[in-house]
Amino acid sequence: MRETELKLSVHPSFIVPQLEDESRFRLEEGAELDLRATYYDTEDLRLARSGVTLRYRSGEGDDDDGWTLKLPADSRTPNTREEIRLAGSPATIPDEARDLVTAFSRSAQLGPVARLRTRRRTWKVIDDGGASVAEVADDEVSILEQRRVVARFRELEVESKGLDEEGLKEVAASLSAAGALPAEPIPKAVRALGPRATAPPDVPKPEVVGPEDPAALAVSAAIATGVRRLIRNDPPTRMGDAEGLHQQRVAARRLRSDLRTFGPLVDPEWARPLVDELRWLGDLLGRVRDLDVLQARTRAKVPESQTGVGELFGSLASRHKSARTELDKGLRSDRYRALLDQLVTAASAPLLRDRAYEPSAEVLPPLVAASWKKLAKGGRALSPDETDEAFHKVRIRAKRARYATEAVAPAIGHAREDAERFAAKTAAVQDVLGAHQDAIVGQEMFQDFAALHPDDGPINLAMGRLIEREAQEARETKDRFFKVWKKLDRKKHRRWLEE
């Protein structure tokens, strides 16, 4: 469940007002609560520093007391977080909660880090149609050590119950007019824990790298970007979100590609184990992702109720369940936690060669040029009659050239826009060849399934139609390839590589 709220700070004598007469909202006083919460984190506050909170809270009522995990929803929407309610006794962190914070806690142990008591007064925000669309909470928070209060603060929360963010801001503006002040969207536990909880996460957001900066900074920035993406999409992947899994797979692939691109700059003995472990993770994610795509592709082409295809969907579901079981096992393994620890270290302290300390503008473009030469050789050699495998190999090379370009583009100064255009045109080649490969995989799957039922007329009729559709799409994507390749393979698009 998504939680969207705005926070306001207030002085001790502040009184929550009724909203102005011209407002389209009014306040209706609600319940008063006495809340007690214990927050859990690692000793070095890895969760808090990453915008994650895990707590057990009582005082809301028998149905609402319990564990809550809050995860960042998106770096572009700091007022919104994913809220997950979990069952369990107050004495033991639920296994599901431990599982969902693995990417943030990694090999560190979780334990209680803060205890808060909150005296809360609430008001429902009623719109002009009479609906309750938000809630205003006036919280007087006490920070406890044992049973002793060591500090206090007060804040207001304006939380959506269906109201959009603009409406929340309208309500907050009325409260501000009475003396409340806008506050950073910092969780109560983070305020209670102090500066250590607001320190940067283990993998901070990469800083901008300039063309005169050493290439080493670009290497660290590229790795940090990939690791942040991998970590951010770990919880959605565990919860079965297909897009989160896709993004985590992309992160693993890009990290492997970046380590390959920066190969001349990094210590090979240091990079090789990381590449191997990322390949292991990417394979686990890829098996599930490929079946996600195959199931969606099949549903788009034929309804599950059509005669002769029900057994096919059952087979795909069974294969997906098996791949998902293996992925879950991998994500809960010591091997995966060790990989996360290694990647976090790699983002800030990669082992580099001397050439990595030369200016980015001099060192980085030749790394992309090497990827382009391999792509150009394969792409120019393709003909309409070439094998499907040859087209697939060019797709892989296009992906590597694109990733290499995107990894170095931010650090090459005036050539950045040229590099980004080159990456976009390379992505177009990758996309059309990706569609071609999907059609080939679909065609092979339908052929294999038909072969398992040689005497079943309805199945063979349905599979024959699907095979022809996939074959037609494969032919069409081949034709499109030559058009997008021609747009990419122009000298003007790669001048930046030769300067």
Residue 309: the pLDDT is 75
pTM value? Answer: 0.90
User: Could you tell me the two tokens for 442?
Assistant: 């679909």
Half-sphere exposure (CA, 13 Å, Cβ side) for 135? 13
Q: How far apart are CA 354 and CA 359, in angstroms?
A: 12
In the chain, ranges of CATH 2.40.320.10 domains: 2-198
The kind and range of the H/E element at 338 are: helix 334-348
Q: Alpha-carbon distance 394 to 400, whole Å?
A: 10
Question: CA-CA distance, 125 to 112, in Å (whole number)?
Answer: 34
Long-range Cβ contact pairs of 281-287 (< 8 A, separation 24 or more): 281/252, 281/330, 281/336, 281/339, 282/249, 282/252, 282/253, 282/256, 284/326, 284/327, 284/330, 284/331, 285/237, 285/245, 285/248, 285/249, 285/252, 285/327, 286/249, 287/323, 287/326, 287/327
Q: Are 103 and 234 in contact (CB under 8 A)?
A: yes
Q: Which residues contact 112 (CB under 8 A, 6 or more apart)?
A: 38, 39, 40
Identity of the residue numbered 257: S
pLDDT tens for the chain, residues 1 to 499: 888 999 999 998 899 988 876 788 999 999 999 999 999 999 999 999 999 999 999 998 767 789 999 998 876 677 789 999 999 999 999 999 999 999 999 999 999 999 999 999 999 999 989 999 999 999 999 999 888 999 999 999 999 999 999 999 999 999 999 999 999 888 999 999 999 999 999 999 998 899 999 999 999 999 999 999 999 999 999 999 999 999 999 999 999 999 999 999 999 999 999 999 999 999 999 999 999 998 998 888 876 566 667 788 888 999 999 999 999 999 999 999 999 999 999 999 999 999 999 999 999 999 999 999 999 999 999 999 999 999 999 999 999 999 999 999 989 888 899 999 999 999 999 999 999 999 999 999 889 888 988 888 888 888 888 899 999 999 999 999 999 999 999 988 888 887 6
Helices 416-451 and 310-331 pack at an angle, to 10 degrees, of: 130
SS3 category, 135: strand
Interatomic CA distance for residues 20 and 177, integer angstroms:
9
DSSP bridge pairs for 40:
54, 112
Find how far residue 387's CA is from the centre of its chain: 36
Q: Which residues contact 467 (CB under 8 A, 6 or more apart)?
A: 443, 446, 447, 450
Q: Find all residues with CB under 8 Å of 441, minimum gap 6, and list them.
A: 290, 294
Burial class (CB within 10 angstroms; exposed 0-12, middle 13-18, buried 19+) of 389: exposed
Of 361, 358, 430, the closest CA to residue 394 belongs to 430
Distance between start and end Cα atoms, the chain: 51
- On the CB side of 240, CA atoms within 13 Å amount to 3
Residue corresponding to tokens 């792509």: 375
- 163: tokens are 């109201």
Q: Looking up tokens 């290499």, which residue turns up?
A: 404
Does residue 252 contact residue 278 with C-beta atoms inside 8 Å? Answer: yes
Task: Say whether domain 2-198 belongs to CATH 2.40.320.10.
Answer: yes
Question: By 3-state DSSP, what share of the chain in percent is helix, strand and coil, each rounded to 5?
Answer: 55, 20, 25
The Cα-based distances of 113 to 145, 193, 389 in angstroms read 10, 8, 55
- For residue 213, the model assigns a pLDDT of 94
Q: What is the pLDDT of residue 253?
A: 95
The pLDDT, as a whole number, for residue 306 is 66
DSSP designation for 74: -
Residue with the two structure tokens 């910092």: 186
Length of the chain: 499
| DSSP assignment letter at 59 | S
Residue type, 451: A
Give the type of residue at 330.
G
- The identity of residue 43, as a single letter, is E
Say which CATH superfamily domain 215-498 falls into.
Answer: CHAD domain (1.40.20.10)
CB neighbours of 250 closer than 8 A, spacing ≥ 6? 229
Q: Token pair 């990469």 is at which residue?
A: 206
Q: Cite the residue boundaries of each domain of the chain with CATH code 1.40.20.10.
A: 215-498
Q: Kindly give the residue spans of alpha helices, DSSP state H, lying in 382-456.
A: 388-408, 416-451
- Per-residue model confidence (pLDDT) at position 7: 95
Please give the Cα distance from 402 to 394 (Å, whole number): 12
Is residue 115 within 8 Å of 37, Cβ to Cβ?
yes
Q: Which of 368, 374, 379, 360 is nearest to 422 (CA)?
A: 368
